Structure 1
Amino acid sequence: MDANKNAIAINTSKLSSLIREKTVIIMTGPGGVGKTSNSAALAIGSALSGIDTCVVTIDPARRLADALGIETIGNDPVEIGTSSPGRLFAVMLDADATFDELIVKYAKTKEQAGKILSNRVYQNLTKNLSGIQEYMAMEKLFELHNDSRFKLLIVDTPPSYNALDFLDAPRRLMSFLDNRVFRLIMTPGPAILRPLTFATKAVLRTISRVVGSEIVDEAVAFFQDFEGMEDGFRSRAEAVQSLLHEQTTAFVLVTAPRGDTISESMTFGEKLTGFGFSLSGLISNRETPDFSIPGEPIDQNEGLSKDDLAKLQDNLSKMKVLKEFENREIQKISAALDSERIIRIPTLNRDIANLEDLAQMARYLI
């Protein structure tokens, strides 16, 4: 790939100001609209523009690795070999590994960290507690944002409704840590560990009959070992919340010009506004190409029979009707979400298979 040639070509389009002015770009939208490919293409375009970039996905599907043409992406940044002026890295969230890293970070001693990591209650918590995946994604976002190797972080989020959980995760964690019951348990010298009241003993006996006394003992041990660490989690959640609302963080909505997808995208955009965020761009992906050729009527083509010409004309008319419908859909969502920056990408003639394909797609984005 000719990096310099591509860098010149892609610097003149519509997201070039975002990649130069922002430090975080969060790609959101419904499932199945090509959000992962757009994230990877934007990252390639950013690197071609000379910006050191990291693209991260919290979607458990491994489409990003395929789009970038590499076998595996892990929880730590992997550099993608390109000839671009800027360096390119990729990360795929491992929620369990991220949580373990935080336990080690906030524990006062190695012994405290070891007790928590080996506790069955903690191990079950990391796999089954609602919202853990989304909050760990926020933690990873904050960690990568503070990595000096990157000037720009592009985040490929899961489909719309999961993305809302992702964006709301810091607030929900802070709410949980401030919950009256949690604070009571985590009070220095936790009440549950001090001489038990009659009521507390009764509650524990009831729980023990259902799940077993061993599980109750491990739960008590978990909260005891966790004591003193909640402040670190709270301060980190507050920092992540602030990062999401900074001027250097942008949100881009990826959609497709179909009625059901447009409707879901509009609902998501409205909820995004409700969280206090605003859209910096709207990508309409996989649009019907414009097949019309101004000044050259189709019936002037030579070498076609009347029957073939009639079929071709009929197909062109259908394409024009579909294009007009798509135009109305995009105008509708643009007006509803008050988005002035709209990038329209036609259906490509082949699937994205390698870095060269992503670089070509980047031409539409920046």
Structure 2
Amino acid sequence: MTPASHRGRYGPLAAPASEAPALDVDALLDDRGTEIVVCCGAGGVGKTTTAAALALRAAERGRKVVVLTIDPARRLAQSMGIERLDNTPRPVQGVVGPGSLDAMMLDMKRTFDEVVESQATPEKAQQILDNPFYVALSSSFAGTQEYMAMEKLGQIHRQAQADGTHDLVVVDTPPSRSALDFLDAPERLSRFLDGRFIRLLLAPARGPAKVMAAGMGVVTNALTRVLGAQVLRDMQTFVSAFDTLFGGFRARAEATFALLQGDRTAFLVVAAPEPDALREAAYFVERLGEDGMPLAGLVVNRASPAPRVALSPDEATAAAGRLDQGEPGTLAAGLLRLHADRARLGEREAGLRARFSAAHPTVPTVVVPALATDVNDLDGLRHVGGLLSGT
């Protein structure tokens, strides 16, 4: 299934069988009905740079933008000239145009702490924050970063709706092992915190639970031997204190998930022209369709530039061979072989894109060529933004 909400909205539906419809990035950014753009994909494909370039271009075209990154390398702060990014939006200086741009980096534990502090009394909040099991959960539990990215996105959007500070949120999803973790994390964390077995095991024996007291006592004693009595007490204390807050976690996760499914959100899948990255992109496109989430298009990043001369790889290799017969090792022969290698790489990448398009013919696509240098300032981000928009 292909996500339908934005299908055809930012690119034509019809295109040659071997060629994807073109993605109109500027139309996406200019659309005031789009309030959230989520850049997702496998790790190491350039999501952070793409998100930052889109945010800057949108701001310079008149939007009030905040870009949220979850990037441990902190390249975004450097490229935007900010000394550091944290859990609070920081203004980016040097935006040319009528809009504005703020940037922030997710602080996973701080976001979790903020949720606890906002939902509990000061005494209850401090009890939770000091609990060793909570400290471990909020800092390193698998999926917590992805869940808190969703939590922070919901916070930013609610604040923007309340005060009008921002009209577009650009999200750089976490560099997870799988891009699908971003969508799965809320439900996974919810299942963990709401696990019936954990609740039955750790809750005080009362009511019908007394009937199971003997059997549960055996399990508890076994866990005590494995985990230790103190760890088990920490878990029990945490669950007891956290119980009153959990409904709010689930409600907000469901609300954010519904927001991502709505017409105000657009997903951009970012991939490199490599088999694994495009395979991950295909999985993500299909998953978005299954969840009814709006896909705007595919960004194929770091593609090999097209050759500037109409000389096939075979022709270049043959010409290099003829030159070597007269004078082996000439500069001209070396350049011809280099051209042949790059042309073959371009053909290979084009074949990979064609296979993706054949499987997903209605997904609008933009191809961004690889740059000779890293992007480390606003001018570099503007250049990437221009490549994304085809200008």
Question: Aligned letter for 1:230?
Answer: F
Secondary structure class of the residue paired with 1:228: helix
Q: Report the Cα distance in structure 2 between the residues aligned to 1:207 and 1:336, rounded to whole angstroms.
A: 49
2:159 aligned counterpart, secondary structure: coil
> Residue 255 of structure 2 is aligned with which of 239, 247, 255?
239
Q: TM-score scaled to structure 2, two decimals?
A: 0.78
| SS of aligned partner of 1:345 | strand
Aligned pair count?
343
Q: Secondary structure, in 3 states, of the residue corresponding to 1:147?
A: helix
SS in structure 2 of the partner of residue 150 of structure 1? coil
Name structure 1 gaps, 5 residues minimum. Answer: 1-12, 300-305
Query: Which AA in structure 1 matches 2:110?
Result: A
**CA offset at residue 60 of structure 1?**
2.8
SS in structure 1 of the partner of residue 180 of structure 2: helix
Report the equivalent of 2:111. Answer: 98
Aligned to 1:5: none
2:374 alignment counterpart: 351
From the superposition, tell whether residues 315 and 120 of structure 1 become closer, same or farther in structure 2 (CA, over 3 Å). Answer: closer
Instruction: Name the counterpart of 2:20.
Output: none
Equivalent residue, structure 1, for 2:10: none
The amino acid that maps onto 2:108 is: A
Q: Aligned residue for 1:26?
A: 38
Judge conservation of contact 1:29–1:160 (CA < 8 Å) in 2.
Answer: no
Q: Is the 8 A contact 1:82 1:88 kept in 2?
A: no
**Given the alignment of the two structures, is residue 54 of structure 1 paired with residue 66 of structure 2, yes or no?**
yes
User: For the residues of structure 2 that align with 1:39 and 1:365, how far apart are their CA atoms?
Assistant: 11
2:223 counterpart residue number:
207
Structure 2 vs 1, CA of residues 335 and 161 (structure 1 numbering), >3 Å: closer, same or farther?
farther
2:304 is matched with: 288
Which of 6, 9, 17 is residue 27 of structure 2 equivalent to?
A: 17
1:8 aligned partner: none
Q: In 2, are the aligned partners of 1:160 and 1:268 still within 8 Å (CA)? A: no
Q: Is the 8 A contact 2:69 2:173 kept in 1?
A: yes
Residues 224 and 321 (structure 1), Cα distance of their counterparts in 2 relative to 1, 3 Å cut: closer
Unaligned runs of 5+ in 2: 1-22, 320-326
Q: What SS does the aligned partner of 1:153 have? A: strand
Q: What is the distance in 2 between the residues matched to 1:16 and 1:103?
A: 39
Partner of 1:139: 151
Alignment TM-score, normalising by the size of structure 1: 0.83
| CA distance 1:51–1:214, shift in 2 (3 Å) | same
Partner of 2:11: none
Taking the aligned partners of 2:81 and 2:344, their CA distance within structure 1 comes to 37
Q: Check whether the contact 1:27–1:35 (CA below 8 A) recurs between aligned residues.
A: yes
CA contact (8 A) 1:282 1:339 kept: no
Per-residue deviation, 1:346: 1.4
In the TM superposition, residue 310 of structure 1 has moved relative to its aligned partner by 4.6
For residue 237 of structure 1, what is the amino acid of its counterpart? A
**Is 2:75 the partner of 1:63?**
yes
Q: Indicate conservation of the 8 Å contact 1:171/1:241, yes or no.
A: no
Q: Is 1:155 the counterpart of 2:186 in the alignment?
A: no
CA deviations on 1:173-230 (whole Å, 9 max, x unpaired) are 44445543356579xxx54478963344444333333333333333222222223222
Structure 1 residue 262, shift from structure 2 partner: 2.7
Q: Does 1:122 align with 2:141?
A: no
- Counterpart of 2:237? 221
- Residue by residue over 1:142-201, the C-alpha shift from the partner in whole angstroms, topping out at 9 and shown as x without a partner, is 111222221111111134644311112233344445543356579xxx544789633444
Matches of 1:278 and 1:334, distance apart in 2: 18
Q: Secondary structure at the match of 2:298?
A: strand
Go from structure 1 to structure 2 and tell me whether the alpha carbon gap of 1:162 and 1:310 turns closer, same or farther (over 3 Å shift).
closer
Alpha-carbon deviations, 1:25-80, whole Å to 9, x = none?
Answer: 11112222222111111111111111111111223332222332333111111111
Mapped partners of 2:146, 2:254: distance in 1: 15
Give the Å deviation of 1:280: 1.2
Give, in angstroms, the shift of residue 278 of structure 1. Answer: 4.7
Letter in 1 for 2:129: L
2:182 matches 1:169? no
The residue number in structure 1 matching 2:8 is none
Partner of 2:351: 328
Report the secondary structure of 1:146's partner residue.
helix
C-alpha distance in structure 2 between counterparts of 1:42 and 1:330, whole Å: 22
Select 1:251's aligned residue among 262, 267, 271.
Answer: 267
